[in-house]
Chain A
Amino acid sequence: MLNNPLRILQALDGYLTSPFELIVYGRSALALGYPNAPDEFAATMDVDAILPSKDLQAIEENDDFWEAQDKVNTQFSDAGLYFTHLFEEKQVILSPQWYTRIVPLTAFGF
C-alpha cells in the first residue's frame, strides 16, 4: 500500500530549500512514527502538523515553507492528497510538556 503521508512529506522535503522543523500530528504521525501501524493510517489523504506558538511569526514570514507547501498541493491535486491542516499548538489538545517529547522521524532521510 502507498504511504500517503510519506509521499506528501518527501515531496515537501524536496521542495524546501532550507531546513524546516515540522511536527507531524495525528494519523500521519501514527503511520510514520510507530512500527506496524494499521494500514488505514498510511491511507490518510493529508498530513496534519503542529506549529509551535513561539515560531509562528517566523513561519508566517517563511516564504520558502509556504511555497513548498503550495507546490506539494499542486503536485498532488489529481491524487486528492493535500497538506494544509496546520495547527498552532493552542488549537489542539496537548500535554503541558509536549514539545520536549517530540520524536524525530529519522528513518526516511528528510
Chain B
Amino acid sequence: MLGGTPHISALLRKARRLGYTTPDDLVRLAVVRGCRHYSTPDYEVKDIHECGKDIFSDAELAVALISGSLNGGAQEIRVAAQLLGAPDLKATEIARLAQMERVVPIIRYISEAGSKEDMENREFWTSLLARLPQSRPIKHGRMPHPDRFMSKPGWSPPSRPARQSVWLRPQKPVHAE
C-alpha cells in the first residue's frame, strides 16, 4: 500500500467490463497504445483488444493503471508515467480523474518528477500540478525513482555527441494485423 485507503473503483469496473480484468491487461493495452518500452517477448498485440480511446481514453488508462497498482505495482506506475507524457492529454481531465480515483499523491509524484526532468513538456506538468489538491507526500522509497520514468543514456566516448536523458513517451500505436 502507498498510504491510501482502497476503495471500490468505478474506473476499474469500467476497465473490467471492457475486458481488462487485471493490471497486466492494462499494461498490455498501454503497450498497444505505444508504451513499447514495457513490452515483453510474450506480449502479442493480438492478445489484447483495443477498445478505442473514445471509449477508454489514455487519461483513463493511466489513472486506472495507478488505481490498480495501490498494492505497490511499480511497473504499472511507470507505464502510467509514460502515458501521461503523451502530448495530447489534458491536465484538467487528469486532475479530475486523480481526485475521483483517490490517486492524487501518485499523480503528484509523477508530475513533480516531470516538471523537473521533462523540459519538453514542462508546461503540461506544471499545469497539472497546479490543478491537483495538496496531498500528503508518499513515504520515501515507495515509488519508482524518477529515473525510471526516463530513458537515460549510458556511457559514450567523449568523441561522440553527448546524449540527453528523455522522458519516455508513447510511440506510434501498434495495430494488430
**A residues lining the B interface (CB < 8 Å):** 51, 56, 60, 66, 69-70, 73, 77, 80, 82, 84-88, 91-92
Contact = CB atoms under 8 A, between A and B. Distances in A.
B10 A51 contact: no
Interface string B74-107: 0000000000000000000000100111100000
Interface residues of B, number: 14
Contact of B100 (A66, A73, A87, A92): A73
Contacts, number: 35
Contacts of A80: 96
B162 interface: no
Most buried by A among B5, B8, B14, B101: B8
Contacts of A60: 13
B13 A85 contact: no
A87 B13 CA distance: 14
Interface string B135-167: 000000000000000000000000000000000
Contact of A87 (B7, B10, B14): B7
B6 A85 contact: no
Given A91-B5, A92-B5, A84 B96 contact: no
Closest 8 CB pairs of A and B: A84-B100, A86-B8, A82-B100, A87-B7, A84-B10, A85-B7, A91-B6, A88-B8
Given A84-B101, A85-B102, A69 B8 contact: no
Contacts of A88: 8
Given A84-B11, A84-B101, A88-B8, 12 more contacts: A56-B8, A66-B10, A66-B13, A66-B14, A82-B100, A84-B9, A85-B100, A85-B102, A86-B10, A87-B8, A91-B7, A91-B8
